[in-house]
Structure formats: C-alpha cells, structure tokens
Chain A
Amino acid sequence: MTADESSAEVEVPLTTKPLSSLDLLNAKLYTWSFWKPVMWAVISIVLSLIVSAVIMLLSGYDPLLAYRTLFYGMIIQPDYALYFATPLILTGLSVALAFKCGLFNIGAEGQVYMGSMAAAIVGYAVALPIVIHPLTCLAIGAIAGGLWGFVPGLLKAYRGAHEVVTTMMLSYTAILFTQWLATYPLREPGQVQLTPQLPAILPSAAIPNVVGNYLHWGIALAIVSVFVVAFILNRTVLGYEMRAVGFNRDAAEYAGIDPRRNMALALGLSGALAGLAGAGEILGNYGRFIDHWSPGIGFDGITVAVLGRNHPWGTLLAAIFFGALRSGGTFMNAVAHVPIEMVGVIQGLIVLFVAAPRVNDWLAKSGFGYAIWVKNEPKIAVPNLAALVFGVISSVLALGYCTMKGLGGMFIGLYFLVAIVGAVSFGMTLSKYRRAPFIHVVLCMLWLLTGAVDSLYLGGVSFRTAAVMSIAGFMIAVALFWVRSKKIKEGRCQP
C-alpha cells in the first residue's frame, strides 16, 4: 500500500539533455506499473457496481434505471459534483499523506471538526479586512487540525501508541468537545434551534461562490493543495524522508533519517489538511459551526485515498469521482427513488475490492485457467463448468425468492442458505478446490429440502423451480463424481 510503485520504475533515457517533468510524465505513460493501479481501480469500481446492482435488484429497485439516473446526474451538474468533491479532495490528501509515511489517519473526522471550530470562532469573533479574514480563518483552522493530528503523531513516534486507535479516539473526543463548546460556552445567544450552533461568521470571512449556488472558491484551495502536497512528497527532502520511513522504517533509520520526527510531522501535516477541509466548508458552505455538521467527510477521505492509491493526483481524481457519485446519488434519489445511502454501499464495496487487489488477479487467472482447461480437457472440465453455472444460477434464483413478500421466516432463511451455499459452491469450483463436488451435492440436497418444505407448508410457490434445480443438480453431481473417480484411477487426484 505504501510503496510508490508508479514512480519507482520510470525508465530514464540516456540523453545528455536534462529531463523536464513533461518528459518524465511521458515516459511514465508507457509503463505497466503506471497503468496497473489505474486498471485495478477501474475494475474495482465495475465489480462494486455489479454487486450493488444485485443488492438493488434484491431490494426491489430497478438497477438499470438507477444507474442511468446516477450516471446522468453525475455529468449534468459538474458544479454540484465539484462542490461535494471540495472537502473530499482535502481529507483524501490528508489520509494519503499519512499513508505515504506508513500511518493510517482514521480519525480525520476529528481534525476536521477541530479545524472547523477554530475557523468558525475566528470567523465570528474577530473583525478583519475582506481577503485577510478568510485566509486567517483557514490558517487557524489548519493549525487547529494540525495540532489535533500532531498529538497522536507524537504519541506514535515516541510512545509507540498505535495511531489507528489514538486518532479514532481523539476523533470522538473532538466531536464531543466541539459539541460541548457549541452547546454551552459559545452557543448563539437567544437561539431557538434544537441543534447547538455558533453565531454566523462575519460576511468578511465568507468564501464567495465561483458559480451557481453551491461551488465556492474552496475548490481552488483544494486543487492548490494537491499541487503543494505533490510537491512536498516528490520534490522536497521532507517528502523523500517521509516516503522512506513509510517504505521501510528500519532502512530509513539506518540511512540517517529520523523516523520519529517524520512520523509526527506527517500526522501533523495530515491533520492540517483535514482542518483545512473543515475550515473551508464552514467559510464557504455552512456559514457557521453547527453541531455534527459533517456528513462524514473525514471517513470518506479514507475511501478517496484508498481509491486514489495515496497518490495526490489519484486522490484528486478519486475525490471528483466520489463527488460526482454523491451528486448523481441525489439525482438518483429524486428520480428513481433509490435511497442516497446506496452510494455509501457502492463506496464500501469499492474499498473492499481495492483492499484485496489479488481478487482481480485471482478472477483473471481462474477465468483464463478455466478457459484453457475446458479447451484442453473438455471431458473433465465440462461437468465442473456446469457445476459452476449451477452455483451461480442457484445463488441468484434463491436470492430472488428471498425477496418475495409475505412468506414465512423459515422459507426465507432456507432460501438464504441456498444462496450462500450456491456462492460457496461457485467459489470452490472456480478455485478447483478438491472437495467442491461435495458442496455441490449439499446444494442439491438443499434444493430438494426447500422444494419439500415449500410443497408441504406453503402450497408450492417455488416447487417447480426447486424440483428442476435439484434434478439438474443431481445429474451434474453424477457427472462430477464420475469424472472424479476417473481422475482418482489415473492417480491425478486424492480420494
């Protein structure tokens, strides 16, 4: 995760002319190590869209309509998409920067809150001229967030306290602390709302909009931050040292780099970026600090950084993608009435697929392997292929029955079990697991059982399907075991 593969294998042509950064970029574009992560991200997105489509199908939504409106919503309102992307770019950079130093800043949310609170206080309590005021607020916000990140950084560096736990805990502490500030000492006087909030910031502190009702100049700040972070990471001694520590702490230490100082600084800088995100949102969007204002931008920053492979530019693209997904989700909610949380499901699935890059390798290898196998040994492979298809069909059919309304819990439970066993059978057959045929037989028996239960207690809602499936399944099973016995005879398989 931490290895900077994309820049490690750039081939340097043997010319006397000094290379410009454009040449380097050009050279990068021809390397596989540059394209592989991009491919991987795209495949993960596609896979998660497929799984989400299945979930939507099961919950009674039309995935085709949903995706049509989602993609339409993603492109018709670019300003709305960028509005959502603005804080995500900054929190994504925050998480990515810490990742580069081998640290996982899971508590960016707390740093966002601290930064936003500090900016809001300076925004309403201090009177300053028009351009200086927002800049001061942003700086103070970044410092507040930075300090909130620096503390766990110090604890990690000098006391060995694991940053995943400390940043998370400090994140909750920050949310409770800012809530307390907004509820008691700094609450807007004479306020009637139930949600505690601070007085509105002065007009001089507000960040104006670029265009339309949503997008504010914070987007420029975010894009500049991408440049700055990319510069720090790739062109300065500090960035080099941080990456070295992230790559291999011990090696960096032997090379004379102080890992402790770099870790503390990295989490501090990471916190500053998160604080900047919070401050920008308060000044450009909310206009005041409101208790629990953030829709989880700190947590979403992790998603962004993970999808962007912790690369500043990748983070920018990923943030814009997720911003577009959010704005498309709003449109999808309005038109297709699919809940906006579906976007959260898609995001979670993307992270899960990105977390395990080898899933893609495995799928590709197993898929190709199967194709070759079927071509070379059709007599043995075809029954397995049939079992594979049978597993998928069982899974989909059973899940479909699960969603039928008005059936008993036992029936739903049974069909859910069939769906799970179907998926397991598919996975085992695909990986050519030795005991896959047995799972296949279990699946057939489950179909038989559901058919029996159905005809006895429910009046045969799915009796015909269950009967056909179990008969087909047992026929495949006979073929499977026949092939297996032949393989055992030839000594190519253990009994």
Chain B
Amino acid sequence: MMQAIDPNLLLLGWLIRSTLEMSTPLVLAALGGMFSEKSGIVNIGLEGMMLMGAFTAAAVSWYTGNPWLGLLGGIASGGLLAVVHAVACVTFKGNQIVSGTGVILFASGFTTVMLKVVWNAQGASDPVTKIPDVYINPIKDVPILGTAFGQMSPIVYLMFVMVALSYYVLYRTPFGLRVRASGEDPSTLDTAGVNVDHVRFVAVVISGCLAGFGGSYLSISFLGFFGKLMTGGQGFIALAALIFGNWTPIGCLLAGVFFGFLNGFQNTIQILNVPELQLYLNFVKMLPYVLVVVALAGIRKSIPPKAVGTAYEKEAKA
C-alpha cells in the first residue's frame, strides 16, 4: 500500500499537518490577545505569558508525570503573569506597553533561571511526558488524510473548540458584551452600572490563560521539552495575527492558520532540501512580518477597539 503513494501527495498531507501544528500556539495566543484588547488593554506581554506557560507546563509534567496537570499548570501560570499585568495596568492605571515589556523581560529571565534550577540545564530541559496524540485509525492509510490527520495532538482540536468558545463568549453572552463595551466606550459601560476595572481585569487574566495554553502546547505537546526562550517571537506573531484578523475570533483563526501555513511551508522547503529554494528561506520567514506592515499601511483597513491602550479613570467623587 505505502509504495503506491505518490511522494508529492505525502508531502501535501505533511504540509497540512505541519500548518495545523504550527498555527495552534499562534491562534491560541491571538485569541488571548483578542480578549485583552477587546476590553481595552494592550497585551504586548503575550510572548512572556506563552513562555511562562511553556515552562510551567514542562516543569509540572516533569514533576508529576501527568501532562494534563502540566497543561493546567501552564494555563494557570500564564493567567498568573497576566494578573501582574492587570494589576499594573488596570488597578494602578500604569502604562500598558511598558508593563507588557516588563512582563516579557521578567518571563525571559525567570524561565531561563528556572531552567537551570529545575533541570540544571543551559539550553534545553530533559524530555518530559507529552500529551498523547490522538490516532484516527480508519483513515490511517488514506493518501493525504492519513498523513494529515492520522496522528494529531488533541490540543490542535481543542484550539478549534477554543475559537468557537471565544466566539460564543464574546458575541453571545452578557460578559462578552461587557468586554466589548469596555474596549469601545468604557464610560457608557460605567454609567450602565458595570465596574469597568473588573471586566478588564478578568479579560486580561483570560488572555494570559489562553497565551499560557498556547505556550504549554509548544512544550508538552509539540516538542516534549522546554527550551530556553523557546517561543522565539511567536507571541509577537500572534499579536500580528490578531491585527491581521481584525480583532475577531474567526479572523484570528484564519490569520493564525495563514501564518502557521507560512511556517509549515518553511519546514517543507527545509525537508525538500532544494538548494535554490533554501537560498530564499529567510524571505519566506520574513513574509508574515512584512505582510503585517503592508496591511497596517492601509491595503486592508483594520479597526482596533476604540478605547484600546488608555486606562479608564472614573471621574473624581464630588
């Protein structure tokens, strides 16, 4: 059976699989960024929260041997770091971008120090227990589908669930309405008797949890270990995906999958090992960044939430 398959078809299946795997952390972190920015708080610290999630997930999985507990730990630690961001920006009305930068700096330093403490390692941790992949046996031998979906991390499927869930929460629940209102027009929300700071605080924490989720995927599902600064700018690409996706869940999904496709495409080129293509690999890598700049420069109009980036100050009590 195997020898009958055209290698090009195998490659196509592999590309689909690679795209989905690469886009999962991006989409999850972009969804996180969406919750935060929809509520009016810029979360540039996604990168740091992902890193923190990746580290904690690996550490918990290593200590307990249970990757699902690791996943919980990763989500919680991302949320915890987001609490710091929320306290700085929401409670104390600090500068959101400066605070986000602090979050990234802190997480980069902290996880590297802890890598030394927990595994006594410089670059990469010991292998940890991974989340078991989901096998779909009936389609294992189908040409393209088999390579693409035969064996897949459950988090990839969970990612689609999270997109649907985010859509539901944001557009079909009172809480979602409040989140959107606090990003568009906080003073009206305040007049309606809702505590803007509470809504924003919760939204930022959700944002950190989702970013931690994305980071955990990297360490305990995709690779199976924690590496120093392993997110490598994916938090920023997620931020770009968020802007590219116009601050909507579906947009985040599409943009994340598109950027994931570019990453998967790179991997495919590397596997093909054609020297002519290899030469221009860096330009393929640049594509997402350049595209975002071009998109922002006005080929496609993107509309951020109106009140994003500004702290909401209640008028002083008389």
Which A residues contact B (CB, under 8 angstroms)?
1, 55, 59-60, 104, 106, 152, 155, 159-162, 164-166, 168-170, 172-173, 176-177, 179-180, 183-184, 299, 302-303, 306, 339, 341-359, 362, 408-410, 412-413, 420
Q: Mark B272-299, 1 if CB is under 8 A from A, else 0.
A: 0000000100110110011011001110
Given contacts A165-B239, A351-B98, A351-B102, A358 and B117 within 8 Å (CB-CB)? no
Q: Which residues of B83-110 have CB atoms within 8 Å of chain A's CB atoms?
A: 84, 87-89, 92-95, 97-99, 101-110
Question: Chain B contacts of A357 at CB under 8 A?
Answer: 92, 94
Assembled-state Cα–Cα distance A413/B61 (Å): 12
Picked from A302, A353, A359, A408, the residue with its CB within 8 Å of the CB of B101 is: A302
Which B residues contact A (CB, under 8 angstroms)?
42, 44, 60, 63-64, 66, 69, 73, 80, 84, 87-89, 92-95, 97-99, 101-110, 112-114, 116-117, 233, 236, 239-240, 243, 279, 282-283, 285-286, 289-290, 292-293, 296-298, 304
Given contacts A159-B296, A344-B112, A173 and B84 within 8 Å (CB-CB)? no
Picked from A59, A347, A356, A408, the residue with its CB within 8 Å of the CB of B99 is: A356
Picked from B80, B101, B116, the residue with its CB within 8 Å of the CB of A106 is: B101
Question: Chain B contacts of A354 at CB under 8 A?
Answer: 98, 102
Q: Is the CB of A169 within 8 A of B290?
A: yes
Q: Is the CB of B66 within 8 A of A409?
A: yes
Question: Chain B contacts of A355 at CB under 8 A?
Answer: 88-89, 94-95, 98-99, 101-102
- Shortest CB distance B83–A (Å): 9
Question: Chain A contacts of B102 at CB under 8 A?
Answer: 348-355
Q: Known pairs A179-B282, A347-B105; list 15 more (Cβ under 8 Å).
A: A165-B243, A165-B292, A169-B236, A169-B290, A341-B113, A341-B116, A342-B109, A345-B106, A345-B110, A345-B113, A348-B105, A355-B89, A356-B99, A358-B94, A408-B64
Q: Which residue of chain B is the closest to A180 with respect to CB atoms?
A: B282
Q: Is the CB of A356 within 8 A of B117?
A: no
Q: Is the CB of A342 within 8 A of B290?
A: no
A-B contact pairs, 17 of them (CB 8 A): A59-B117, A159-B298, A161-B297, A164-B97, A165-B240, A172-B233, A172-B236, A172-B289, A177-B282, A180-B282, A302-B101, A345-B113, A355-B95, A355-B101, A356-B89, A356-B93, A409-B69
Picked from A160, A173, A183, the residue with its CB within 8 Å of the CB of B286 is: A173
Assembled-state Cα–Cα distance A184/B88 (Å): 45
Q: Is the CB of B95 within 8 A of A1?
A: yes
Centre residue among B88, B112, B283 by max chain A CB count within 10 A: B88
Given contacts A176-B286, A348-B109, A161 and B293 within 8 Å (CB-CB)? yes
Q: Is the CB of A165 within 8 A of B88?
A: no
Question: Chain A contacts of B63 at CB under 8 A?
Answer: 409, 412
- Shortest CB distance A280–B (Å): 23
Q: Is the CB of A155 within 8 A of B293?
A: yes
Q: Is the CB of B240 within 8 A of A341?
A: no
Question: Chain A contacts of B101 at CB under 8 A?
Answer: 106, 299, 302-303, 306, 351, 355
- Shortest CB distance B171–A (Å): 25
Assembled-state Cα–Cα distance A154/B301 (Å): 17
Q: Is the CB of A55 within 8 A of B110?
A: yes
Q: Is the CB of B106 within 8 A of A352?
A: yes
Q: Is the CB of A180 within 8 A of B283?
A: yes
Q: Which residue of chain A is the closest to B73 with respect to CB atoms?
A: A413
- Shortest CB distance B223–A (Å): 21
- Shortest CB distance B181–A (Å): 22
Assembled-state Cα–Cα distance A176/B114 (Å): 29
- Shortest CB distance A338–B (Å): 8
Q: Is the CB of A349 within 8 A of B60?
A: no
Q: Is the CB of A352 within 8 A of B103?
A: yes
Question: Chain A contacts of B114 at CB under 8 A?
Answer: 59
Question: Chain A contacts of B104 at CB under 8 A?
Answer: 348
Q: Is the CB of B297 within 8 A of A159?
A: yes
Question: Chain A contacts of B89 at CB under 8 A?
Answer: 355-356
Assembled-state Cα–Cα distance A469/B107 (Å): 32
Assembled-state Cα–Cα distance A337/B160 (Å): 45
Assembled-state Cα–Cα distance A302/B297 (Å): 25
Picked from B107, B283, B297, the residue with its CB within 8 Å of the CB of A348 is: B107
- Shortest CB distance B41–A (Å): 13
Q: Is the CB of B94 within 8 A of A356?
A: yes
Question: Chain A contacts of B243 at CB under 8 A?
Answer: 165
Q: Which residue of chain A is the closest to B111 with respect to CB atoms?
A: A341
Assembled-state Cα–Cα distance A306/B98 (Å): 8
Q: Which residue of chain A is the closest to B236 with respect to CB atoms?
A: A168
Assembled-state Cα–Cα distance A159/B116 (Å): 46
Given contacts A176-B285, A339-B116, A413-B73, A351 and B105 within 8 Å (CB-CB)? yes
Assembled-state Cα–Cα distance A162/B42 (Å): 12
Assembled-state Cα–Cα distance A354/B105 (Å): 13
Given contacts A348-B109, A352-B102, A352-B106, A155 and B97 within 8 Å (CB-CB)? no
Given contacts A164-B44, A341-B113, A409 and B60 within 8 Å (CB-CB)? yes
Question: Chain B contacts of A60 at CB under 8 A?
Answer: 117
